[in-house]
Amino acid sequence: MMNSRNSASQNSTDKAGASQGIRIDLWLWAARFYKTRALAKHAIETGKVEMSGQAVKASRLVKIRDQLRITRSNELYEIEVLSISEKRGSASVAQTLYLESEPSRLKREAERERRKMENAGYQAPPTKPDKRARRLINALGDLDML
């Protein structure tokens, strides 16, 4: 009988905690910014996630209308939390959890286009350099030291 009371009070506490917010690493995983919670936690610990301009810990609670800055693979997302979910759903559902600011989206797309243009002229060689080509490459490197 005691166990049922304890579990009932614990369930009500869990529901109250869920209405207050959820852990930021769980939310980042549910919003599909990271494939696993471990990756989300690592990003938080390395300072790639900020809330209202401050670094956060993985246990920090995310609430609706919180402002987040997320750096992921050289891309910066400035978002506002619209909804909270503990479940990881499809990509279309995950996009409804947040709203990215227009300047952030435009800047990210411009940066992506710039990187694409930088790499447009580069073409990787079809094979590794042979012995003669390696010697020539090393000789060119020696010219810089003169």
Average pLDDT for the chain = 84
Q: How far is Cα of residue 52 from the mean position of the Cα atoms in its chain? A: 16
The average pLDDT across 4-15 equals: 42
In order, the DSSP letters of 99-122 are EE-HHHHHHHHHHHHHHHHHHHS-
pLDDT at 17: 44
pLDDT at 61: 94
Distance CA 73, CA 63 (A): 25
- Domain parsing of the chain, residue ranges: 21-109
The average pLDDT across 67-88 equals: 92
pLDDT in tens, 35-59: 999 999 999 999 999 998 899 999 9
- Is pLDDT above 80 for 1? no
- Torsion angle (degrees, nearest 10) of CA 52, 39, 48, 115: -120
Superfamily the domain 21-109 falls into? RNA-binding S4 domain (3.10.290.10)
